[in-house]
Structure 1
Amino acid sequence: MSLMMVPLGETKIVTEFRGKDDMKRHLQDLGVVKGEKIQVVGETSSGLILLIKGVRIALNRGLASLIIVN
């Protein structure tokens, strides 16, 4: 399922990325890597606030929809 479908407060595991290679690299630079736990801690009108490796990051809806979690 896409990260955009994860309910607020739930933790999931990143399984894959969709999109171009440069977009995948950008997400990996932010700490979003396969096998990593990711928690949705907030939602704004433009995207999601995530907790990854103890760090909060904000992603817009377009980027969040490219992350597939299980």
Structure 2
Amino acid sequence: MILSKAKLNKEYTVNSISGKDDMVRFLFSLGCYEGEKVTIISKVATNYIINIKDSRYGIDEQLAKIIQVA
């Protein structure tokens, strides 16, 4: 499933990231890559606060839609 459809405060594992190279590189720089754990802390409109490696980041829905989680 894509991250934008995931439930709040539940830990998921990133399966894959598919999108434009610049978006994939940006997520990789945040520590978001295959096998990493990610949690949605909150959602406000089309913005998501996510937790990756004990750090919180704000991403938009476009980025959340290219992250496949399980």
Q: How far 1:31 moved relative to its partner?
A: 1.1
* Mapping of residues 10-21 of structure 1, within 5 Å: 10-21=10-21
What is the TM-score when the length of structure 2 is the normalising length? 0.94
Q: How far 1:38 moved relative to its partner?
A: 0.3
* Mapping of residues 14-53 of structure 1, within 5 Å: 14-53=14-53
Identity of matched residues, %: 34
Comparing 55-64 and 43-52, the one that deviates more: 43-52
- Deviant stretches of 4+, over 3 Å: none
Residue number in structure 2 paired with 1:2: 2
CA RMSD of aligned residues (A): 0.8
Q: Which runs of 5+ in 2 are unaligned?
A: none
Q: Which runs of 5+ in 1 are unaligned?
A: none
